[in-house]
Amino acid sequence: MSFLPYVIAAWLFVVGLWGVVSSTNLIRTVISLTVVQSSTYLVLLGVGYRTGGKAPIVADIPTSSKLVDPVVQVLVLTDIVIEATVTALLLALVVQAHKRFGSIRPSDLRALRD
């Protein structure tokens, strides 16, 4: 099953996107977006994997061992940091939307509807 990680990544992407589109609650929208983003982790790590490769940490294995690509792992780390910050910013916007409109239903955001 050499394509299974990509299938799961595509599934996470579509499910998360459906969550964003069909959401009736802004917090659910934000969480769905993190589901979409988690699919990118799977794609990145899947691309960098070599069959039989070990984690790129040579503290207790010889440097000549077969290792996986460390670059994509660093990109995933960046990805996670960005996801955390974007989530925090979006949730702050939700807090303000709730203050302003007294609701976190997307359809109640009057400034967007007018």
Partner 1 sequence: MSRRVRLALFAFAGPGLLAVLLIGLHGLPAFGHYRNVYGLLVDKVEPGLRHATDIVTALNFDIRAFDTLGEEFILFASVAGVAVLLRHLRGEEEAEQARGIEDHRFAGASPSLQLTSLILIPLLFALGAYLLLHGQLTPGGGFQAGVVLAAGPLAILLAGRYFALKRMAPESALELVESVGAGGYALIGLGGLIFATVYLKNFLPVGHQGTILSAGMMPINSIAVGLEVAGAFLVTWTEFFDQALIVER
List of residues contacting partner 1 (CB under 8 A): 1-6, 9-10, 13-14, 17-18, 21-22, 24, 43, 46-51, 53, 55-59, 63, 67-74, 77-78, 80-82, 84-86, 88-89, 91-93, 95-96, 99, 106-107, 112-113
As given in the structure block, the two tokens for residue 62 are 């010889």
State the nearest-atom distance from the C-beta of 61 to partner 1, in Å: 9
CA–CA distance, 14 with 39 (Å, rounded to integer): 9
What's at 9, amino acid-wise?
Answer: A
User: Among residues 39, 12, 17, which one has the least CA distance to residue 28?
Assistant: 17
State the nearest-atom distance from the C-beta of 113 to partner 1, in Å: 7
